[in-house]
Amino acid sequence: MLLSDAMEDEEKWLAEGIAGIQHNAFYMHRALDANNLREALKYSAQLLSELRTSRLSPHKYYELYMRAFDELRKLEMFFKEEERHGCSVMDLYELVQHAGNILPRLYLLCTVGSVYIKSKEAPAKDVLKDLVEMCRAVQHPIRGLFLRSYLAQISRDKLPDIGSDYEGDGDTVMDAVEFVLQNFSEMNKLWVRMELQCLYYIHFGDPELRPSFGLSGLQGPARVRDKMEKERNELRDLVGKNLHVLSQIEGIDLDLYKETVLPRVLEQVVNCKDELAQYYLMDCLIQVFPDEYHLQTLETLLGACPQLQPTVDIKTVLSQLMERLSSYAASSPEVLPEFLQVEAFAKLSNAIGKVIETQGDMPIVGSITLYVSLLTFTLRVHPDRLDYVDQVLGLCVKKLANKPKLEDSRATKQVVALLSAPLEKYSDIVTSLTLSNYPRVMDHLDNGTNKIMAMVIIQSIMMNHAYVSSADKVEVLFELIKGLIKDLEGDSDDEFDEEDFNEEQNSVSRVIHVLYNDDPEEMLKIICTVRKHIMAGGPRRLPFTIPPLVFSALKLIRRLQNQDGDAAGEDNPATPRKIFQLLNQMIKCSSLGLEGWAETIEALSYVPSPELALRLYLQCAEAANDCDLEPVAYEFFTQAFVLYEEEIADSKAQVTAIHLIIGTLQRTNVFGVENRDTLTHKATGYSAKLLKKPDQCRAVYACSHLFWVDDQDGIKDGERVLLCLKRALRIANAAQQMASVARGSSGPVTLFVEILNKYLYYFEKGNPQITSAAIQGLIELIKTEMQSDTVTPDQTSDAFFACTLRYIQFQKQKGGAMGEKFDTIKV
């Protein structure tokens, strides 16, 4: 209620003010057209009286001011003409001093003053000095600030700058600087004084001191203060603009800036002891003056920071400074030596340390934000100086030392930003891994953030397709991502999220694939390092982490195998020794590595992933076979069987497993008779013990391939093949009978047709135990079965059988040896 009333009142007052200006402007224009100087002055003074109001907030006052400002431009033009008309500008300067009130008088004086300087009838510096002194008469903050900003604006292009029209005759840049600096400090004082006046108003209720807009006496001190703060904030650019004017003075070279301008501005800033002013003016100073000046005066500029009020937000100021300097460094490589020459990094780092020290109660997030800025600066300006980067991280570690883990989420965010910056900069992760303080910073993160950071690291590796290529680096990397690798102290199960967990572990397994070195010895070390870390991961993680590591090891083994082959083809005398060495290594790696692996995979069998473990055993067995390592391969098969016996209970899983075992065993040629017999015996035994007859049948006829390997020197034991097939037939028969007992009808003939196909296969391959008579017999058997009433007709098996017969027909007609062989079979 009160506020909206107040705002309405303010609108009304503004409207009144505008009306007053328009009214007087009308008469002023008439006077100007009539060339009536006195009338023009009278009405312009009346018009300017509207600016004497105390009722408007800075925003509204500015509107009123702009109206008056525009009118004054017309008057100024008239003054210029007037000069041509005969009345000297010096006379004018005298004349306007008779205007009634101080404020209108001073506006007019400034207006004439600008014409006066332009006319060059008086030295610019004298007029400026006169004006800047006279403006002291207005001590009301808002009125005074606007008046002085008017002075700053109209004198802006009339300063005795080098190369300007107003230089010379003893007028120097120094005079311009003095003038602007004086106006600046007067304005700053007015601005700072608002704060004091506000306090007076609160305590003594003097309406002249009232912060401008619509306050009724009913409002409490806190409200009054808030408003005053808001108003002061609106007014800040009027003060700051002086610094802009200064920066535009060309004559201010580095020396003048260093010797005079900067110290004087800083003196004003430091001494005013006002939080708002100090923060804002430091910001302005940094923004309006060029970067090379800052670089060359870093010490002075930074030296002021600890002298500011403890409440000033120095970290933002410094961040902005560093931001500017880093853009400057990025703008051209030629400026980099400047940074080195002035030791910018050391100075900034020092200053930050001092600020953090003096502002004892700066929250931790503040300090870390400062380090982030410093790090950003370092990465942009000195990307080659990893020691600097590490130093900044070290500062952060120091700050965090002896403190419990970070809980403030904003501070945590900053730490993540700090740690992410080097990853973004150096696309090669390895660079970041050399930063000794990196893991130490990570240690201060809470577990959740630690994991997030670990994911950021992994993503950065994946995104940059970077390889981590030494065991040492891998060690560092796994130390960094340990939050994903094992349970950390304080990890609680309540927060367990399966989806997140899976994603994390998948990331870890992806990263294992990019740990790579061409040198087998180093690669082996890498693998051992990874193994050491992931073994601590516990049952939930192993199913994710073990497979990639096993495959990484197998890849290494295959690599050694191939190298061996290649090198052997060369006649280079140096090579045999090399090969020998490599072989030696290979054997060491395979035996040590693989045997070690058995143990590793064993860990998997404790977790509910026996099927996964079985597959890995078989992969290893195959690799061992390729390396000609019989005992190793045997060991793996044994492990696989143990798993099969003890852990794989589901019947479907058993079927899959037994076929995998048979397939692998079939490809294995490293075994001597004894080992081989043991293993094939087991395989056939388990096959015949599967739960369902059809599964038994299929597994058993698959086992026949264990005795007939279609290689040049593969095993070819026709008898045992036949034994398997006969056994399969018996099982198929039994299955048929069981089906008739159970359902009154036997199953389809599919199993028989499948077995027939196996017969045909071995028949063609020349297994002497498989005769055309046996095949004939089987065909007849199937035909009879199909015709029996009890059989359920089945299209698929009928078609299968028809195809098989067509195939026999086709072979018969082929002629030649094959045709002859098939000749005796009748279909």
- Restricting to residues 149-168, which ones interact with another protein according to CB under 8 A? 153, 156-157
List the interface residues with another protein, window 58-77 (CB under 8 A): 58-59, 62-63, 65-67, 70, 73-74, 77
Kindly state the smallest distance separating residue 45's Cβ from another protein, in Å: 10
Answer whether 132's CB lies under 8 Å from 183's CB. yes
Residue with tokens 């800047």: 132
> Where in 292-311 is the site for another protein (CB under 8 A)?
292
Q: How is 610-643 classified by DSSP, letter by letter? A: HHHHHHHHHHHHHHHHHTT-HHHHHHHHHHHHHH
CA–CA separation, 736 and 753 (whole Å): 13
Using CB under 8 A as the binding rule, whether residue 688 contacts another protein is answered as no
- Of 43-51, 120-128, 522-530, 594-602, the segment contacting another protein by CB under 8 A is 43-51
Q: How long, in residues, is the chain?
A: 827
Judged by CB under 8 A, the stretch of 240-248, 299-307, 742-750, 795-803 that binds another protein is 240-248
In the complex with another protein, which residue's Cβ is closer, 243 or 318?
243
CB burial string 242-259: b at 16+ within 10 A, e below: bbbbbbebebbeeeebee
Q: Specify the stretch interacting with another protein by CB under 8 A; choose among 56-64, 578-586, 598-606, 783-791.
A: 56-64
Interacting residues of 307 by C-beta distance below 8 A, sequence separation 6+: 270
**Shortest distance in whole angstroms from residue 142 CB to another protein:** 11
- Contact flags string 9-28 toward another protein, x per CB under 8 A: -------x---x-xxxxxx-
Under rule CB under 8 A, which residues in 121-140 are in contact with another protein?
A: 137-140
Q: Contact between 405 and another protein (CB under 8 A)?
A: no
- Residue that the structure tokens 């490809």 belong to: 667
Q: Which residues does 296 contact at the CB level (< 8 Å), separation at least 6?
A: 254, 258, 338, 342
> Minimum distance from CB of 405 to another protein (Å)?
36
Least Å distance, CB 367 to another protein, is: 24
CB 281, CB 184: distance < 8 Å: no
We find the least distance from the C-beta atom of residue 255 to another protein, in angstroms, to be 16
**Given the complex with another protein, which of 3 and 77 has the nearer CB atom?**
77
The DSSP result for 235-261, as a single string, is: HHHHHHHHHHHHHH-TT--HHHIIIII
Torsion sign across C-alpha atoms 22, 24, 30, 31: negative
Q: Which of 328, 442, 436, 450 is nearest to 389 (CA)?
A: 436
Identify the residue among 31, 32, 604, 627 touching another protein (CB under 8 A): 32
**For another protein, which is the closer residue by CB, 77 or 773?**
77
Nearest distance from C-beta of residue 138 to another protein, angstroms:
5
235 counts as binding another protein under rule CB under 8 A: yes
Quick check: helix, strand or coil at residue 791? strand
Q: Is 290 in the site for another protein (CB under 8 A)?
A: yes
Q: Which 8-state DSSP code applies to residue 50?
A: G
Cβ(399)–Cβ(360) below 8 Å: no
- Distance from C-alpha of 805 to C-alpha of 800, rounded to nearest angstrom: 9
Q: Which is nearer to another protein, 245 or 724 (CB)?
A: 245
Q: Which residue number, 97 or 233, has a Cβ lying nearer to another protein?
A: 233
Q: Which of 388, 356, 350, 392 is nearest to 373 (CA)?
A: 392
Cβ-Cβ contacts under 8 Å for 442 (sequence gap 6 or more): 419, 450, 453, 480
> Which of these, 366, 232, 375, lies nearest to 310 by C-alpha position?
366
Candidates 6, 7, 9, 29; binder of another protein (CB under 8 A) is 29
Residues 89-128 that bind another protein (CB under 8 A): 101-103
CB of 106 to another protein, least distance (A): 8
CB atoms within 10 A of CB 675: 17
Nearer residue to another protein within complex by CB, 29 or 385: 29
Query: What's the min distance (Å) between Cβ of 206 and another protein?
Result: 11
Q: Of residues 46, 359, 469, 736, which one binds another protein by CB under 8 A?
A: 46
**Residue 543 contacts residue 604 (beta carbons within 8 Å):** yes
Q: Using CB atoms within 10 A of its CB, is residue 361 exposed (0-12), middle (13-18) or buried (19+)? A: exposed
Angle between helices 37-49 and 2-33 (to 10 degrees): 180
Q: Where are the alpha helices (DSSP H) in 273-335?
A: 275-288, 291-296, 298-304, 314-331
Strands of 457-505, DSSP E:
none
Residue given tokens 């912060």 in the structure block = 211
Between 48 and 442, whose beta carbon lies closer to another protein?
A: 48
Q: Which residues, 241 to 270, sit near another protein by CB under 8 A?
A: 241, 243-245, 247-248, 250
- Residue 137 or 536: the one with the smaller Cβ distance to another protein is 137
Compare residues 237 and 650 and give the one whose CB is closer to another protein. 237
Residue range at the interface with another protein (CB under 8 A); choices 236-244, 342-350, 433-441, 543-551: 236-244
User: If DSSP codes are grouped into helix, strand and coil, which group holds residue 99?
Assistant: coil
Tell me which of 108, 128, 202, 284 binds another protein, using CB under 8 A: 284
- Is the CB of residue 283 less than 8 Å from the CB of residue 318? no
Contact between 440 and another protein per CB under 8 A: no
Residue 134 CB, shortest distance to another protein, in Å, is 12
Q: Which is nearer to another protein, 106 or 703 (CB)?
A: 106
Distances (CA, A) of 760 to 378, 720, 780, 810: 77, 16, 15, 13
Asked if residues 273 and 309 have their Cβ atoms less than 8 Å apart, the reply is yes
| Nearer CB in complex with another protein: 27/501 | 27
Q: How far is the CB of 433 from another protein (least distance, A)?
A: 34
For another protein, which is the closer residue by CB, 78 or 345?
78
Kindly determine how many residues on this chain lie close enough to bind another protein according to the rule CB under 8 A: 64
Instruction: By CB under 8 A, name the binding residues for another protein.
Output: 16, 20, 22-27, 29, 32-33, 43, 46, 49, 52-55, 58-59, 62-63, 65-67, 70, 73-74, 77-78, 101-103, 137-140, 143, 153, 156-157, 208, 233-238, 240-241, 243-245, 247-248, 250, 283-284, 287-292
